[in-house]
Structure 1
Amino acid sequence: MPQTLSNLLIWLNFFRLNDYSIQLVFFLISINLQISVAFLASAMFSDVKTATVVAYIYVFGTGLLGIFLFQFFLEDPHFPRGWIIAMELYPGFSLYRGLYELSQSAFAADYRGVNGMRWRDFGDGMKEVTCIMLIEWLLLLVSAFYIDQITYSSKHPLFFFLQSPSKNKQHHYSSNKQISKFVVEMEKPDVCQEREKVEQYLLESTGNCAVLCNNLKKVYSGKDGNPQKLAVRGLSLALPQGECFGMLGPNGAGKTSFINMMTGIIKPSSGSAFVQGLDILTDMDRIYTTIGVCPQHDLLWDKLSGREHLLFYGRLKNLKGSVLTQAVEESLRSVNLFHGGNGDKQVRRYSGGMKRRLSVAISLIGNPKVVYMDEPSTGLDPASRKSLWDVVKRAKRKGAIILTTHSMEEAEVLCDRLGIFVNGSLQCIGNPKELKGRYGGSYVLTMTTSKEHEQEVEELVHRISKNAKKIYRTSGTQKFELPKKETKIAEVFQAVEKAKKMFPVVAWGLADTTLEDVFVKVAQTS
């Protein structure tokens, strides 16, 4: 029977003749060193494509330089040993030196018919490179942690020696209050009231709110001669526990940028924000344990099953044993992925809707105190959407939810309060009934007749209300806005009945203002 490739590799002299424990120690240290290098690189690079290119250059470049350059220095007895040690400080060369020593020992042992490298004859070169790799492993690991803290958590470079920033919060709040007074934009009364509420919370205690944002801004720098892009303009928002807040707005309004700032993906340009009393600028590592996120685009691994995804994220939320197993089962059931073996299928076999439901389940596992959902129902069929709404309703009893959506029906069903964003700023805020009453103080009368009777319909409507406004007209169908203050529903019915006797009316209808009408009106006038 032909040997498999793995058997052939195991029986190579390199692995067979050298002491197994020496190989175990060497490869264990080298693997952890490479992981530390990866951590350091992830802290230094913010762009995935750039990091990928540099990683390929590092791996393949090191191999080529080791074979065609470093090996000649090792074999040259006149080359200074001090320079060899200096070159081994580069992790790629230290790994190459260790492999070189092991291969030379195996070659010599095979040639002489003896054993390869053993602990009793551990060579100077192998001791040297093992010590270098061990020290570098620890130093790079600490360096990666340090750079990550000062770069992405925005901590002071001397944060090890400074007291916790939470002790200086009162000063931080008062300074933010002074900054928030200099808001240039003219804001509407409801938005100003929300800003005043935020300032009051800052003076009292941020722990009273699940989410508190004070004059939060994000500006993207311009590239290729383009001007700067103001994605979020001085947002102030107070979100208590048990509330679902809906963020509505056209594409590019700044909703996703806001969520990215609150979850630590990008840093705000100015302003401050707190989650459960923790500052997103300094306490992001603690905030991660209290939040859940359903991103706009699914971040899943094709080769893992739905159950494995939930097990992984459940462990990140510190769930263990039977509690973890139960949480995974409940999550799969809540999003209809439990039956039919769907939970154990690889994600690459999921439909788009199933992936979306899994993302929602991931965001809710571990009962997070704050959940961010960026268009969670995108791509779902009506039955799955209704089931998802029930899941969100149950989840908001245990914490706060910030939801972005383009579905006005979803916003009305789920959200206790709504905020409409246009060009990065909050234009209005309130519950759905308040917004419809504030921005939709009119009825919409629709009437369809033949084209020759359009003028008669218009005259009829103006007799009902002098300030009626035509908002739509095509092929005999006309829509009018009738101010509620000067319109009585009974008069509309009487007028339509009279019109039917004068000319044929194909169809007509009277509707109250919808949330969609409010959204369109605010978006167009802002």
Structure 2
Amino acid sequence: MAAGFGTQANALLRKNLTFQKRNVKANIRLVAFPIVLCLLILALQIVFDKLVNNNDDNKCGCICVRRNGDECVEERCGIEYSNLDQAVFCPIPNPPEWPPLLQIPAPEYRAVRNDFMTFTDLPSESCRINGSCPAIFLLTGNNHSFGEILGENMLPNTFSINPSNLMGSLASNVAGSESKPGTSQFLDSAFFSDLPIYSVQSRCASNSTISAPVQLSSINITQEIRCLQGLNLWRTSSSEINDEIYKGYIKGNSEEEINEIIAAYDFLNSDPNKFNVSIWYNSTYKNDTGDSAIGLVQVPRSVNLVSNAYLRTLLGPSAQMLFEFVKEMPKTETQLRVDLSSIIGTLFFTWVVLQLFPVVLTALVYEKQQKLRIMMKMHGLGDGPYWMISYAYFFVISAAYMLCFVIFGSVIGLRFFTLNSYSIQFVFYFIYINLQISLAFLLAVLFSNVKTAAVVGYICIFGTGLLGSFLFQLFVQDQSFPRGWIIVMELYPGFSLYRGLYEFGQYSFRGHYMGIDGMRWADLADSRNGMREILIIMLIEWVVVLAIAYYIDKIVSSGSAKGPMFFLQNFKKKPHSSTQRPALGRQGSKVFVEIDKPDVVQEREKVEQLLLEPSTSYAVIVDNLRKIYPGRDGNPEKLAVKGLSLALPSGECFGMLGPNGAGKTSFIGMMIGITKPTSGAAFVQGFDIQTEMDTIYTSIGVCPQEDLLWENLTGREHLLFYGRLKNLKGSALKQAVEESLKSVNLFHGGVADKKAGKYSGGMKRRLSVAISLIGDPKVVYMDEPSTGLDPASRNNLWTVVKRAKQGRAIILTTHSMEEAEALCDRLGIFVDGSLQCIGNPKELRARYGGSYVFTMTTSADHEAEVESMIKHLSPSATKIYQISGTQKFELPKHEVRIADVFQAVEDAKHRFTVFAWGLADTTLEDVFIKVARSAQAFNDLS
């Protein structure tokens, strides 16, 4: 009885668990990678905390107001004791007020007339030598005269500073600074640097620099105030201004190539009844490398400047829209808390999770490369149990790996794990590892070599991480990048993984910095959170990829490609057993056989008769089976098997003889489902090989030409696995395994429990034979089973095969005539894809070996006398060999008597010296050579 689904699943599960137990070192290396990586991040975090997070510059400034020796017993902290970096961490219930400033270009960068900027109204380059270059404002508009008036009213004509009310004076005037703006205005960097504050005016007196105290709350500083001439220059159009700004932008290290302006204004269609203006502003001095959110851009003062100019034009010079100050929002004390796992974890953890992909992929490709999958299938393992157990096996490994990863990361305190909701992490990792396993099953079809699959897998790991970090993440962060394209990119599973880990990192970083929780389920409703969309994408992809992978596997898994609509065959009504089947019927067209092969014709007629019977005891029936390999690379098509017909009853061993390339392996390949027949039909136990191979696999055994074994499993474990696939259980399984090991001489000396990878070639061959016979298969295919065996092992194997013939049919290929004669009840000689003769060894010798072979060795002088003697004995004798006095002749049996030969030799000994002689009957090897030569000669002529 065939093994059921549960039995097959149990067999494969036990095999996988045993195989996994043999790979403890590999598993330790696999789990060690994320553990080492987490420890490395932890070490970096400890160092970073010491050097950065806990550094005095990254917390509110303090001073010691009372000491006891070297020990400070009282200290005061606050913004008044802090520098620019420390101020952002202090508690500031009442932020200081700072005057709004223009962003002034540094003296060496202010716009001048040079080779690439030829406007004559620009100042000469000589002003850069003494730092007297004015700050340039560019103006344009539809109404030139009105625009000129606005420009004249923008800047004050006098430099009036009240030292007792410096901040009010700066607010009333037009102040600016060339310092880089900070990330906050708790302490304005312009007042805490060596650079002066500028009062921008239409003209400056000769001595226009003063120093004045500045007091804000408890902050006391002395600030240098310097007058700076602002120069308004008119341009004919906005495009001219745009071009001038573009040409003056920073291009490199050469200061001569930089021409910066303060601001530019296009008054458009402004007039006394309407105010409409576009403003260009200078963002060169942002305190960062390009992200405008990091450095404050000093734009408000530029807007206020032109607004006041419009008011003065309408209402007179006393009109003013006072822009007194800017200040930050109040805040409590904060602390610099940068979590490295949240920053670098996205890239590193992407590599950690993706590491599972080549592990699964190479395991699947290994079974394909070693043909272990088809070997299991040929011994009865169905696709359902294989997929269920293999998928569950890889899932458990992946889940255990991810569980160790998350638990270890949480135990050592990586906030990437501890701050984000574990339930979201569970769902995310659960869906992704399932998608990853499904993808590995799908892509395994594309590879036939483990090394190639491993290389491609690891390239995908590092390529995905690097592309995600340096390309995909930039698109995610760019709010102007179309969201639709982000979703398209996330269809690639690696980017889905990266996006999910990126979201975890962002939420854990923000949560740690602000002292709040990381990602929670409610956060998935946020439109800026991409977690919900990738969970949906990965879930859909998992289902789709898994279905496609299973569908493709069903088509190609057996090696003989099924049709794309193979699943429709499940709706056909199948008989329950071979004894209840209707007549099998002919398949294909009849092929006529030459009249000089009556044994082949007789075999074909027997097949035709058996096909008409409603039931039969014959184990194998082959009807007009053909295999044609299509031509490739300019080579013609190859006819490997030419209309073979064969009937094989139970209890018979049929031997297939033939030269290399005769088609023997192609025939067995079709019979075991590796290749698909071109035409014709074959039935095993009454089941059709083209439509019912899954049923046939439950009742056959196969010993392939190559030893298809798991190197890490022992001989006993191989037999236990295949025995379970044959529905052996309990004591029957144990007894069958022991008997099989004993029969092939692998039981004693601990050989049975030795890994197959350490077996010699002969031991592997014997194990392959034992596998093919375990479980009482009804049909056994053995492709050159004794190859590589020593004489003693070969004779022992022959004994095993002879015993195995009872109640089963065996098809055996061999190049050993001795083996064929010892084991086979019938023989068939294959030449160029066709069956040339069939019969038992005695019949073949009688039919094709009707001659004696006479050999005599004399001196070279007597060769002619020996040839004359043979012609006298048999006029039809043929010389087949001659060298250095040794001659060999074929003597037709009907022309000679053995006694006459002996008498002729005795007479010859009296006339000349005979060194050696012999008379032999035709051997099976002679028959094989004769049939092969005659068939090849006939094919060459035709």
Normalised to the residue count of structure 2, the TM-score between the two structures is 0.51
Q: Which one of 836, 842, 851 corresponds to residue 427 of structure 1?
A: 836
1:151-170 per-position Cα deviation (integer Å, ceiling 9, x unaligned): 54635616347632757x97
Counterparts of residues 42-441 of structure 1 (less than 5 Å):
42=444, 45=446, 52=453, 62-108=464-510, 111=513, 125-150=530-555, 152=560, 154-155=562-563, 157=565, 159-160=567-568, 163-164=571-572, 166=574, 173-174=585-586, 176=587, 179-183=588-592, 188-205=597-614, 208-441=617-850
Which letter does structure 1 place at the counterpart of 2:686? G
The reply on whether 1:36 has 2:448 as its aligned counterpart is no
Aligned counterparts of 1:156 and 1:165: Cα–Cα separation in 2: 20
Contact 1:206 1:212 in 2 (8 A): no
- What's the CA shift for 1:428? 0.7
| Counterpart AA for 2:498 | Y
Contact 2:475 2:481 (C-alpha < 8 Å) held by counterparts: yes
**2:872 counterpart (443, 463, 466):** 463
* Cα distance change, pair 308–486 in 1 and its aligned pair in 2 (3 A): same
* Counterpart-to-counterpart distance in 1, 2:450 and 2:625: 29
Which residue pairs with 1:478 in the alignment? Answer: 887
Between the aligned partners of 2:522 and 2:838, the Cα distance in structure 1 is 76
1:161/1:389 Cα in 2 relative to 1: closer, same or farther (>3 Å)? closer
2:870 maps to a residue whose letter is: V
Tell me, in whole angstroms, the C-alpha distance in 1 between the residues paired with 2:510 and 2:668. Answer: 61
Q: Deviations over 1:366-386 (max 9, x none)?
A: 222222111111111011111
**Partner Cα separation in structure 1 for residue 569 and residue 932 of structure 2:** 49
CA drift of 1:134 comes to 3.7
Residue 69 to residue 292, structure 1, CA distance change in 2 (3 Å): farther
CA gap 1:51/1:505 in 2 versus in 1, 3 angstroms:
same
Deviation at 1:93, TM superposition (A): 3.4
Q: Against the structure 1 CA distance between its residues 57 and 468, is the aligned structure 2 distance closer, same or farther, given a 3 Å change threshold?
A: same
Name the residue aligned to 2:160.
none
Residues 1:201 and 1:132: Cα distance change in structure 2 (over 3 Å): farther
Instruction: Indicate how the Cα distance of structure 1 residues 330 and 223 shifts in structure 2: closer, same or farther if over 3 A, else same.
Output: same
Paired with 2:419 and 2:742, the residues of 1 have a C-alpha distance of 54
- Asked which structure has the greater RCO (Cα within 8 Å, sep 6+), the reply is 1
RMSD: 3.2
Give the superposition deviation at 1:40.
3.1
Change over 3 Å in CA distance of 1:290–1:447 after alignment to 2: same
Deviation of the 1:510 alpha carbon: 1.4
Single out whichever of 513-522 and 460-469 deviates more from structure 2.
460-469
Contact kept in structure 1, 2:761 and 2:788, CA below 8 Å: yes
Instruction: State the SS of the aligned residue for 2:815.
Output: coil
In the TM superposition, what is the alpha-carbon distance from 1:63 to its structure 2 partner?
4.4
| TM-aligned CA deviation for residue 207 of structure 1 | 5.7
Q: Is the 8 A contact 2:583 2:612 kept in 1?
A: no
* Amino acid of the structure 2 residue aligned with 1:235: L
Aligned-pair CA distance for 1:256: 1.2
Aligned CA distance change for structure 1 residues 231 and 503 (closer, same or farther; 3 Å): same
Offset of residue 509 of structure 1: 1.5
What is the CA–CA distance in structure 2 between the aligned matches of 1:333 and 1:240, rounded to whole Å?
A: 28
Aligned equivalents of 1:138 and 1:315: distance in 2? 32
- Kept in 2, the 8 Å contact 1:213–1:273? The answer is yes
**Aligned-partner Cα distance in 2 for 1:425–1:236:** 10
Looking at secondary structure, tell me which structure has more helix per residue: 1
Contact between 2:591 and 2:624, CA under 8 Å: does it hold in 1? no
- Does the 8 Å contact 1:212/1:273 carry over to 2? yes
Look up the SS of the partner of 1:173 in the other structure.
Answer: coil
After the TM superposition, which of the residue ranges 280-289 and 20-29 deviates more from structure 2? 20-29
Give, as a single letter, the amino acid of the residue that structure 2 aligns with 1:295: P
Shift of 1:415: 0.8
- Structure 2 residue matching 1:201: 3-state secondary structure: helix
Q: Describe the superposition over 1:460-493 as per-residue Cα deviations: whole angstroms up to 9, x where unpaired.
A: 2222222111111122221111111222222222
Decide whether aligned partners of structure 1 residues 59 and 380 sit closer, same or farther in structure 2, where only a CA change above 3 A counts.
same
What amino acid maps onto 1:32 in structure 2?
N
Which range moves more in the overlay, 456-465 or 246-255?
456-465
Indicate the larger mover: 508-517 or 145-154.
145-154
Q: Distance in 1 between matches of 2:879 and 2:842?
A: 24
Look up the match of 1:492: 901
Greater C-alpha Rg: 2
Q: Judging changes above 3 Å, is the alpha-carbon distance between structure 1 residues 162 and 344 closer, same or farther for their aligned structure 2 residues?
A: closer
1:49, CA displacement in angstroms? 8.3
Q: Distance in 2 between matches of 1:523 and 1:310?
A: 39
Q: Return the alpha-carbon distance in structure 1 between the equivalents of residues 507 and 727 of structure 2.
A: 46
Cross-structure match for 2:857: 448
Q: Distance in 1 between matches of 2:933 and 2:666?
A: 22
| Residues 76-123 of structure 1 deviation map (CA, whole Å, 9 limit, x = unaligned) | 344454544444444333333344444445545555566655678677
- What is the CA–CA distance in structure 2 between the aligned matches of 1:318 and 1:301, rounded to whole Å? 21
Give distance in 2, aligned partners of 1:324 and 1:133.
Answer: 44
The residue identity in structure 1 corresponding to 2:565 is P
- How high is the TM-score relative to the length of structure 1? 0.87
Q: Write the distance in 2 (CA, Å) between the matches of 1:269 and 1:374.
A: 22
Deviations 1:127-154 (A, max 9, x none): 5434443443333333333334455463
Q: Is the 8 A contact 1:170 1:203 kept in 2?
A: no
Q: Assess if the C-alpha contact under 8 Å between 1:153 and 1:285 holds in 2.
A: no
Q: Which moved more, 1:304-313 or 1:357-366?
A: 304-313
Please state how far the C-alpha of 1:69 moved relative to its aligned partner. 3.7
Alignment match, 1:502: 911
Contact 2:591 2:643 (8 Å CA) reproduced: no
